[in-house]
């Protein structure tokens, strides 16, 4: 999973880097392995890029932002689901001819097929990041039209050709010259699985992002679009230009964005994430009541489960308490020593409040169970704090199917729920015993209809994949994840911590 930002400065502003950096900080929860920003000047002749490993604050410093001149650009934060956490896989990406910057969120499922097809055209990929073949396909399609001075029609045709070749789930932002004007284009796949939003500011600036949370910090207001299968072209001081790339597109936004990934203050597809999580908690509380689970207090696993826990406590008439304090600075692998065990790492991140736990029957609320390793340790921490009982409540259904669309759970063997019976009651009983809980209650798949209306991607729960994916692509994606998890350190000895070069040509700055 990743997050992207794109910005067009107002007519009187010459740089966007600082504001893109601020926006990346707002979507930092979407990726902490690497970050980058790339900009283009007003003539389209000069590009600048800085990329580095770590968070946006770690990867990009003041000097980097000063070097990133230009009134239009894109930024990215990455958590790898294809490829590894290496510098050459960090986004944005750059293609020298005809001059395109690109950043994306999602998963291109036919990477291997595209790699082979591009090689036949003497275009060779220089990374394992799946945005690169999409960028190469767009660049090649444009160059087949004409070598330079591409019109809006040229660009729309090229984007359609890219869409026809690229499969999977993606939203992307690209910067290029269109009709000799610096242009930011944001595109969503034909199913609209991965999110993208557009914001406008009174001074004529435009901002696109994976989530709307960046808008408030920079004074932007959210507007409609882009819809599934659309491309929206944005220029300084001008109105958006909207083009359909797929007339048969029908949106199926990812349900896991609402359940876990997005920030609670985000608005997606016109609906607040916090509102959805409250509704999920209310629906789950009904099942807890039907089962007659006896509890004294509701405690959430920080932080995603808090809204659902709030709704559950209200409906069940139970007090809501903090049972854990989260160390905001525990971070990921950049702060924790590699030698620490998973258990020690979790104890760095969470600490219990024993007075809220001792002797009480805890209703422990979490958003989902993917691998089960974290929850097993969390329940152990409650036992150590002398909880009288631990009843686990999960405000989503069992995750029984891999995600091939950009969430990091792409192999069958890593999924906790696949170890047990498909019968929900039997699964809950066996899984509770495995985790060390007194009981476990999931939200049934059918209950999602109470919360979500319309088409959606819930493939991780129901196994119905809305975007086409072949068995060969599934095997390749799962194999890549197995290899990357067992691979070497993200930073090789002697590797520079940041780069000013793109994969298809040197950049200015």
User: What CA–CA distance (Å, rounded) separates 39 from 364?
Assistant: 46
Both tokens of residue 236?
A: 């300084």
pLDDT at position 394 is: 99
Strand partners, 185: 174, 233
pLDDT in tens, 154-204: 999 999 999 999 999 999 999 999 999 999 999 999 999 999 999 999 999
Q: What domains appear along the chain, each with residue ranges and CATH number?
A: 2-252 (3.60.20.10), 271-329+339-454 (3.40.50.2020)
pLDDT at position 339 is: 36
Q: What angle do CA 183, 56, 163 make, to 5 degrees?
A: 40
- 457 assigned to active site: no
Q: Which residues have C-beta within 8 Å of that of residue 228, sequence separation ≥ 6?
A: 188, 189, 190, 191, 192, 246, 249, 250, 251, 252
Query: Exactly one of 2, 129, 136, 460 is catalytic; which is it?
Result: 2
pLDDT at position 500 is: 36
Q: Given the DSSP bridges, would you call strands 168-178 and 93-95 parallel, antiparallel or unpaired?
A: unpaired
Give the orientation angle of helix 373-384 with respect to helix 424-435, to 10 degrees: 60
pLDDT at position 479 is: 85
Low pLDDT (below 70) residues in the chain: 80-85, 330-345, 347, 484-509
pLDDT at position 83 is: 55
pLDDT at position 507 is: 54
Contact indicator for 249, 190 with CB cutoff of 8 Å: yes
Both tokens of residue 173?
A: 């932002």
pLDDT in tens, 23-54: 999 999 999 999 999 999 999 999 999 999 99
């Amino acid at each position: 999973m990743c997050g992207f930002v794109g910005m067009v400065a107002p007519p009187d502003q010459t740089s966007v880097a600082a504001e893109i950096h601020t926006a990346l900080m707002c979507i930092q929860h979407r990726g902490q392995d690497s970050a980058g920003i790339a900009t283009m000047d007003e003539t389209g002749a000069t590009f600048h890029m800085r990329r580095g490993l770590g968070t946006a604050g770690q990867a990009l410093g003041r000097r980097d932002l000063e070097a990133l001149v230009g009134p239009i650009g894109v930024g990215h934060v990455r958590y790898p689901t294809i490829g590894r956490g290496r510098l050459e896989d960090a986004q944005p990406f750059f293609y020298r001819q005809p001059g395109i910057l690109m950043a994306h969120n999602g998963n291109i499922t036919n990477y291997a097929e595209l790699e082979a097809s591009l090689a036949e055209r003497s275009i060779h990929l220089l990374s394992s990041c799946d945005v690169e073949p999409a960028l190469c396909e767009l660049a090649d399609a444009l160059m087949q039209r004409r070598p330079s001075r591409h019109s809006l029609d040229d660009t729309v045709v090229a984007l359609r050709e890219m869409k026809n070749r690229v499969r999977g789930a993606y939203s992307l932002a690209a910067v290029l010259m269109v009709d000799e004007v610096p242009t930011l284009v944001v595109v969503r796949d034909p199913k609209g699985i991965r999110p993208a939003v557009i914001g406008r500011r009174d001074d004529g600036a435009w901002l696109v992002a994976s989530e709307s949370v960046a808008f408030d910090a920079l004074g932007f207001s959210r507007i409609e679009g882009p819809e599934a299968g659309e491309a929206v072209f944005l220029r300084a001081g001008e109105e958006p230009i909207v083009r359909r790339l797929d007339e048969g597109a029908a949106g199926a936004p990812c349900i896991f964005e609402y359940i876990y990934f997005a920030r609670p203050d985000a608005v997606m597809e016109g609906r607040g994430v916090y509102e959805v999580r409250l509704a999920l908690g209310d629906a789950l509380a009904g099942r807890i009541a039907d089962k007659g689970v006896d509890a004294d207090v509701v405690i959430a696993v920080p932080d995603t489960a808090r809204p659902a826990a709030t709704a559950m406590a209200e409906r069940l008439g139970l007090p809501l308490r903090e049972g854990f304090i989260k160390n905001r600075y525990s971070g990921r692998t950049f702060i924790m020593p590699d030698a620490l065990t998973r258990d020690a790492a979790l104890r760095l991140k969470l600490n219990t409040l024993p007075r809220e736990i001792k002797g009480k029957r805890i209703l422990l609320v979490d958003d989902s169970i993917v691998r089960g390793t974290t929850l097993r340790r969390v329940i152990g921490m409650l036992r150590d704090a002398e909880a009288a009982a631990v009843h686990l409540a999960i405000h989503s259904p069992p995750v029984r199917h891999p995600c091939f669309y950009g969430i990091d759970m792409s192999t069958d063997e890593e999924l906790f729920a696949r170890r047990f019976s498909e019968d929900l009651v039997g699964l809950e009983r066996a899984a509770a015993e495995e985790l060390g809980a007194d009981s476990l209650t999931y939200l049934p798949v059918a209950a999602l209809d109470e919360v979500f209306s319309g088409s959606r991607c819930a493939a991780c729960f129901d196994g119905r994949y809305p975007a086409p994916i072949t068995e060969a692509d599934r095997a390749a994606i799962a194999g890549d994840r197995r290899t990357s998890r067992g691979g070497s350190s993200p930073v090789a000895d002697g590797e520079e911590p940041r780069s000013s070069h793109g994969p298809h040509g040197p950049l200015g700055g």
